[in-house]
A and B are shown apart, each in its own frame.
Chain A
């Protein structure tokens, strides 16, 4: 009743005219007729009509401003949100269970270190049924680089289904397994392909509607967000503005639709004092955009994932490996066998690649 005129969603010019004509709260406007309002405030008849319609709508129909929440309620809400596991138990532990829903997580890394592999693994893991510890949801994969190759998704899905088949214990799990096959996993993975930043912006505008039509989606992956923004920008401030807007939209999507948003970023070199370092691309201000940041990197021949920024978890670095089955833990090797010994010796024909021991996927 006493709602401020400024808090309504009118065009700014109309708002300014209303306020300068003296209409400060909704009560002032309610009882006027359109012609009176338009004469008093100096706005057109059409605009006056729209203003009155908006003001007269009951509070329940107006875009509901979020009611107030206490911190305890927020905590309970957060704890009720699940996480998407990564199948690498060390990484899941570092992340506090997995990639969280309702937040944006950024994965940075050099080419070939495993960003797309992790994204495909997450897209499959989001679909693991609830009785196996997953969320039983669907996944959206927005590909800007063209690195989503469906045969790899088939490999990862087959391994996940097989893993669940092996750990099935009771009838509930057996029933859930009926609907968790490679084909259903593939059919619930929605793929969008964006070729430049305009298409990516367009896709982000269309995403809320898509998520409303597909309420079972629990994960949105954008692989990668750096690629379309790194060329064809003469004006870097425009790029920063667009990226910030995009980040805001994604955070809003993540919290409103309770999905986990995962973004992939590239690395670039920065010349320091005497040496060059690899840093995440897209600039310093982009570093603030995502809620959590994970950096994947090499050390020698081993791969490590570092949780670089997180509001709730400690910084940690864990090893991982990419196997034909997907993203997995590194199993600590026998002391008698050196890990991942790659140098081919004459006579070893059968294995082209030293098959790392299969990681121990989290038995969630």
Chain B
């Protein structure tokens, strides 16, 4: 701790050092009387010491919501959002994914979670005016190997998915080069990846998106039912690391989660899961849900677009594929709502629900 940072009477600094109080954290964690007892300073001195240390710790000034709204705060950027690459899904999220915080995509297998994540890894590389962040992505796989062939297919067809972006811009981005793929087979290697390797990539500005696909796999198999407390501890630590990464580098974090059957009514009563009737809940419990900013649930319906929404003038890319739903379960700035989407050869697109003319 740098005592030169704070303007204090040398007598006070000396007394504090003699009392073996080394860090700012200790100064603030001890109560007033405790500090008085340890340092033998007077009440007024201790009060002044704590206030000075507090001012050194909390350096960001107070901002008003108006300044935030006008984009005048560099350390709390809320205007820029990461686009998902599809205007329908972006409008479901009111512009896209916020840069600070953890977004979860939960759903059963083959609902399309990995497809959405891959599309995000591509859309983050576009320039800012097209909804990207001009940097690459880190994709941490914990389950299967990464589908590289599919990624190559998607990146070669980006010009079809994003017709609003000029062709030369799309051509100039080497999509596959900027996606860093990590594999983590257990919780320890995941933690070391998140705390050592990912910060290096982030600090060099090479990536501005972190995808963890999926967190459920590791935490569910390494911890048995009786280790619930230990699992909760690890989840909390993991979430805290992700949060600090997200804030330090202004990077969105996307986590993929699995779902499990809801057993009995009590589970569903504890936590409402949105508009659509569901028989499944995201796994990892309330410990993990408390860390999230936004939760999306995706699922696969049994219908195709023509069957479900027969009156809609179907766009060519939606034809022939199964209809899926993407639903906002909770978010601080979004109402509970959902949209349909399909997965086609060039990516994931939402279905725009306008009645056929």
Contact = CB atoms under 8 A, between A and B. Distances in A.
Interface string A186-214: 11111111110011011101100110000
B310 A210 contact: no
Given A203-B54, A242-B29, A151 B295 contact: no
Given A191-B63, A199-B57, A343-B277, A9 B43 contact: yes
Contacts of B41: 11
A246 B286 CA distance: 25
Nearest to B329: A112
Contacts of B25: 198
B333 A202 contact: no
Most chain B Cβ neighbours within 10 Å, of A202, A278, A299: A202
A12 B355 contact: no
Interface in B61-100: 62-66, 68-69, 75-76, 78, 92, 94, 98, 100
A153 B329 contact: no
A10 interface: yes
Interface in A322-350: 322-324, 342-344, 346-347, 349-350
Nearest to B57: A202
B54 A349 contact: no
Contact of A191 (B31, B68, B269): B68
B308 A346 contact: yes
A150 interface: yes
B88 to A, nearest CB: 11
Nearest to A301: B272
Interface stretch (B107-115, B162-170, B215-223, B236-244): B236-244
Interface in B247-303: 247, 266, 268-272, 275-277, 285-287, 289-290, 292-293, 295
Interface string A1-41: 00000000111111000000000000000000000000000
A198 B24 contact: yes
Nearest to B44: A9
Interface stretch (A72-80, A168-176, A266-274): A266-274
A188 B64 contact: yes
B333 A349 contact: no
Interface string A231-243: 1100000100110
Nearest to B248: A195
A205 B65 contact: no
A121 interface: no
Contacts of A323: 335
Interface stretch (A141-149, A255-263, A285-293, A307-315): A141-149
B40 A13 contact: yes
Interface stretch (B177-185, B200-208, B336-344): B336-344
B353 interface: yes
Nearest to B290: A266
A150 B269 contact: no
B62 A190 contact: yes
Contact of A230 (B100, B236, B289): B236
Given A9-B42, A186-B69, A202-B54, A111 B309 contact: no
B311 A347 contact: yes
A161 interface: no
Interface residues of A, number: 81
Interface in A150-188: 150-155, 183, 185-188
Contact of A231 (B37, B237, B292, B338): B237
Contacts of B286: 110-111, 266-269, 278
B51 to A, nearest CB: 6
Residue among A112, A117, A353 having the largest count of chain B Cβ atoms under 10 Å: A112
A149 B309 CA distance: 34
A83 interface: no
A150 B42 contact: no
B276 A342 contact: yes
Interface string B207-235: 00000000000000000000010000100
Contact of B65 (A10, A186, A194, A349): A186
A209 B335 CA distance: 38
B90 to A, nearest CB: 14
A264 B270 CA distance: 18
B92 to A, nearest CB: 8
B28 A202 contact: yes
Interface in B337-357: 337-339, 353-355
Nearest to B39: A11
Given A9-B43, A11-B42, A232 B68 contact: no
19 contacts: A11-B40, A111-B292, A147-B293, A150-B78, A151-B78, A151-B333, A155-B333, A188-B64, A191-B64, A199-B58, A206-B54, A231-B237, A241-B31, A268-B286, A298-B269, A323-B335, A324-B335, A342-B276, A352-B92
Given A183-B66, A195-B243, 12 more contacts: A141-B65, A146-B293, A149-B98, A151-B94, A155-B333, A189-B65, A191-B65, A192-B58, A205-B51, A241-B31, A323-B335, A349-B355
The 3 closest A-B pairs by CB, nearest first: A112-B330, A202-B54, A186-B66
